[in-house]
Amino acid sequence: MSWNQGGSPWGNGGSGGGNPWGGGSGSGRGPGGPEGPDIDEMIRRSQERLKNAMGGQGPRGTAVMIGLVLLVFLALQGLAQGHLLGFYRINDGEVAVVQRFGAMVRQEQPGLRWLVPLVERYTAVSTSRINRVEMGVPAQNATRSRDGSAESLMMLTGDSNIVDMEFTVQWRVADPVKFLFNMREPDVTLRIAAESVMREVMGQNQIMTAIGSGREAIRQDVEKRLRDLMATYDAGISVDSVQLQRMEAPAPVIDAFIKAQNAQQEANRLGNVAEGYRNSVLPQARAEANRMLEEARAYKAQIVAGALGDADRFTQVYNAYKQAESTTSTRLYLETMEQVMGGANKIILEGNGAERVMPYLPLDSLRRAPAVPAAPTATTN
């Protein structure tokens, strides 16, 4: 049937004047204007055709139609959520936390898994990935934080100096359930906690210690305190390490601090030289002291042995004296006189000649005076 003939392709042979939508009192035409399509009639006929395709009217056709609609809806919902008909895959190193109507019901390990569409949903959390939180950047490469301010760390030390620093915190998810539900933004909490702990530790150290030999001690202290603090938060985060990239004085005073640090290094060098000299001299001094001590001990033993020997000898003389007092007294007298008079100049006179010697004649001088040679006798011819 052509469009310009009477009637319409929809089977309505009313006076349409060549209108393909047919005539009649349709709701789509205006008064005095061209006739429009009858929308209600089109919907009714479409429903009848769908029922006929589903096996006719009745409960069976209605059930099949509802099932198809529900199946199409579930398929579209699965595609919208990233999985089809509830099937999804978990990659290695991840754990899936499944929620049913918002409540956590189970955790799934890597592999192909299934959940109830429209009722359950999952969140994949990586437990093997090492995450990094970078705190502070150099001034020339300063970025913007969430509040729009330049992200840099200026910290006050215990001796009222300022340190410009940069450090990194490496962490990973230890408990996916706590990581998802115990805190709203655990990574932001970790960033704030790391900065707070670093400021606390820096406030307890001096600047020369911080930028010098105390860097490793500060790093270990911050790492321990940050782990303890995150454990109290119970956020499911495990802090692996804290690394100090940069710790130096601010740019306006960096030259003075470099000179001070060089002086500190020179002092350390001189201290090492003195320590080496001490280590070389001290063993020799100890050896000399031990030698002198051994000599003193030997001298002590010698003197004590001599004193004991003299005491024993005196005891023996005394015992002999007690046995023969007269003989011993005479012997002691003679020995004493021998010691006293042995080196003196003396003249011994014995017999009658001793009585005729004048008491004041200096015999000892005469004895020592050399003989005067006789004068030569003059001879006359």
125-150 per-position pLDDT tens digit: 888 888 998 888 654 444 444 444 44
Alpha helices in the chain (DSSP H): 39-53, 59-81, 176-181, 186-202, 207-210, 215-233, 254-323, 325-341, 363-368
C-alpha–C-alpha distance, residues 49 and 70, integer Å? 20
- Average pLDDT of the chain? 75
Kindly report, residue by residue over 248-289, the tens digit of the pLDDT: 777 777 787 778 778 888 998 999 999 999 999 999 999 999
| pLDDT score recorded for residue 50 | 62
CA distance 84 to 341: 137
Per cent of the chain over pLDDT 90 is 21
For residue 84, pLDDT beyond 60: no
Contact between 207 and 163 (Cβ < 8 Å): yes
Q: What pLDDT shows up at residue 190? A: 92
Q: What percent of the chain has pLDDT over 70?
A: 66
- What tens digit of pLDDT does each residue of 172-195 get? 998 888 888 888 888 899 999 999
Q: Which pLDDT band, with edges at 50, 70 and 90, does 302 fall under?
A: very high
pLDDT tens profile 97-115: 888 887 888 888 887 877 7
Average pLDDT over residues 208-226: 86
3-class secondary-structure state, position 82:
coil
Residue type, 222: V
| Fold category of 131-249 in CATH | Tetrahydropterin Synthase; Chain A (3.30.479)
CA neighbor of 118 nearest in space, from 89, 62, 68, 79: 79
End-to-end CA distance of the chain: 216
Q: Give the model's pLDDT for residue 97.
A: 86
What local confidence, expressed as pLDDT, does residue 377 receive? 55
**Chain centre to alpha carbon of residue 363:** 104
Report yes or no: 230 and 169 within 8 Å, Cβ to Cβ.
no
Please state the rounded mean pLDDT for residues 32-49. Answer: 66
Q: What's the rounded Cα separation, in Å, for the pair 144 and 152?
A: 9
Q: Alpha carbon of 58 to those of 50, 53, 152, 232, 369: distances in Å? A: 12, 12, 74, 64, 178
CA distance 5 to 185: 72
Q: Identify which of 169, 188, 193, 246 has the alpha carbon closest to the alpha carbon of residue 215.
A: 246
pLDDT of residue 319 exceeding 70: yes
pTM listed for this prediction: 0.47
Q: What local confidence, expressed as pLDDT, does residue 28 receive?
A: 43
CA distance 52 to 72: 20
- Contacting residues for 143 by C-beta, under 8 A, at least 6 apart: 137, 150, 151
